[in-house]
Chains A and B, each alone.
Chain A
Amino acid sequence: MSNNPSRFDPRGLALPGLVLALWWGATASGFADTRIVAPPAEVLAAALRELTSGELAEGLLASLGRDLAGFALGSTAGLLLGALLAVSGLADRLVSPTLHALKQVALFAWIPLISVWLGQDEAARVLFIGLAAFYPVLFNSHEGIRSVTRELAEVTRVFRFNARQRITRLILPAAAPQIFAGLHLALIYSWLATIGAEYFFKATPGVSTPLLDGRADFDMAKVLYGMVVVGLVGAALNAIASRLEQRSLKWRRSR
């Protein structure tokens, strides 16, 4: 939230440094039981072990694959349905209330039902991730396209734009900021859902494998390593989404 995010401010390191020092001190002095609280060095060793074993690449590939598959599925469905609801008042009044009602069911509450119907397969995971991505894209593209002003629509009618021209030259550029906002949110939600899917549908391999195994073996070093990986992947996805969003909208502004 700072004005210049690219500039590095060393004050931000003070708190992590303090936590690290306290953590190291507590484990080195024997104040904390090292069988429960892993010392910092052990976390580093665990990370090195995992990184060299090749499990990271395997897990990362599997998780990103299902994340992006679910994201593509959910956001395509959301975009198409959102566009339909925005363009057709009848469809909007017919479908929107039901969609809003279904949205009230908290995301994770779908898991038991999905697991009964689709089993513990990859299909179940992708569907769940798709469900997480669906709603933000749906609502944002709906809003975005509906906010295209009547005046602009009339201009396209005066110029006798055909349907394709109206979509590519009016609707998409005008609704782009909201659609991208929806896609960005969907990317964040689908990463959360990917972790959830791997917890509930017992996926191995995946990025959450160290978290699940570490907890089962009571290996805190592994768990902490897993948390760092999950956080970094989420940050990378977020950064890529922001970059793409900015670039696409810059093109729009320059026109």
Chain B
Amino acid sequence: MTTSFPLSLPGSQAAVQAGRRLGGLGLALLLPAAILYLWQLAATREWVTPLLLPAPAVVLQALIDLHASGELWEHLGISLGRVGWGYLAGVVLGLLLGAAMGLSKTVEAYLMPSFKAVSLVPVLGWLPLFIMLIGIEESLKVLIIAKAVIVPVTINTVKGIRNIAPGHFEVARIYRFSPLQTLGRLIVPSALPSLATGLRLGLANAWMALVAVELLAASEGVGFLMVHSRQLFQLDMVMASMVVIGVTGWVLDRALQSVEQRLLAWRVTAY
């Protein structure tokens, strides 16, 4: 029976994997290349009016123009500033709220139903109320983004703390850990994977909420750039903005992921 399974040496496997990765890259680029080719064909033969489908080169030119005029970096800087402040506020509040509810059943009993009720209404549902209360100032964007971040951060913090085995807390008690030691040596390291999940979900939510709020109520930022271009019917600019939003979202996620990996690697070596 066992002879039917292919046996392979680790060395040859690595070579095969490297080859496969190279082949994988080629395959991965095939579909985008085909799409680009069709898009180019559709644009040059004018299957669709250029007003509705600008050629790829035109979109690229729009992207270059946005960069050259500095407009891109200005709008992106404003957007990133909003995400930064909103994310920071959401993470700090989410961690505090999650830790309080995770560590104390009493706090959870008082706060969890209200928290659930608040998180039931999606971010966009809060927007009209917030606009009425604080106008469409900067604080509106920060508040909306913070709301989008708090929910996943809090839920995952509570989950991470609740999943710590009760036995570990007993060990900490036997060793007479101070509350600070219990936090630093037991709670934070054990809850870290779940915390990291919350932080990543929060960042993705923050970026999505930023785009939504900038489409609806802003006069600067990448979302505004997009909706403004759409009003002027400049589809090349709309598509260029989509590329910027996609790439920025990817970079943000990647950056957080590398921080997360470093933190989790530290956790493994600490044991």
Contacts and interface: CB of A to CB of B under 8 A. Distances in A.
Contacts of A9: 109, 113
B108 A16 contact: no
The 9 closest A-B pairs by CB, nearest first: A12-B113, A97-B28, A112-B230, A215-B128, A105-B246, A231-B120, A231-B121, A104-B246, A11-B109
B226 to A, nearest CB: 5
A112 B227 contact: yes
Given A93-B24, A93-B27, A195-B125, A231 B211 contact: no
B128 A200 contact: no
A169 B5 CA distance: 25
B27 A115 contact: no
B245 interface: yes
B186 to A, nearest CB: 20
Contacts, number: 149
A13 interface: yes
Interface stretch (A65-73, A172-180, A220-228): A220-228
A182 to B, nearest CB: 15
A117 interface: yes
Contacts of B52: 116-117
A224 B129 contact: yes
Nearest to B216: A199
Interface residues of A, number: 54
25 contacts: A2-B108, A2-B112, A12-B110, A15-B110, A36-B132, A93-B24, A95-B31, A97-B28, A98-B28, A98-B31, A104-B253, A105-B245, A106-B207, A107-B208, A109-B211, A109-B223, A116-B52, A192-B122, A195-B125, A196-B124, A199-B216, A224-B129, A230-B122, A231-B120, A234-B122
A177 B234 CA distance: 45
Interface in B11-48: 23-24, 27-32, 35
Given A15-B114, A109-B242, A220 B129 contact: yes
Contacts of A117: 52
B215 interface: yes
Contact of A105 (B30, B131, B162, B242): B242
Contact of B113 (A13, A97, A98, A218): A13
Nearest to A233: B120
Nearest to B162: A1
Contacts of A97: 28-29, 31
A96 B117 CA distance: 37
Interface in B215-271: 215-216, 223, 226-227, 229-230, 233, 235, 238-239, 241-242, 245-247, 249-250, 253
Contact of B128 (A14, A113, A115, A223): A223
A16 B112 CA distance: 11
A90 interface: yes
Contacts of B110: 11-12, 14-15
Contacts of A214: 128
Given A104-B246, A220-B132, A224-B129, A16 B117 contact: yes
A212 interface: yes
A213 to B, nearest CB: 10
A5 to B, nearest CB: 10
B72 to A, nearest CB: 15
A199 to B, nearest CB: 6
A212 B128 contact: yes
A215 B131 contact: yes
Contact of A16 (B29, B114, B121, B233): B114
Query: Is the interface on chain B under 10, 10 to 19, 20 to 34, or 35 or more residues?
Result: 35 or more
A98 to B, nearest CB: 5
Given A211-B125, A218-B132, A111 B246 contact: no
B212 interface: yes
A94 interface: yes
A104 B247 contact: yes
Interface string A49-91: 0000000000000000000000000000000000000000010
A1 B226 CA distance: 40
Interface in B111-152: 111-114, 117, 120-129, 131-133
A128 interface: no
A116 B109 CA distance: 48
A231 B125 contact: yes
B153 interface: no
A247 to B, nearest CB: 23
A232 B124 CA distance: 15
A113 B238 contact: yes
A235 interface: yes
Contacts of B32: 98, 101
B256 to A, nearest CB: 14
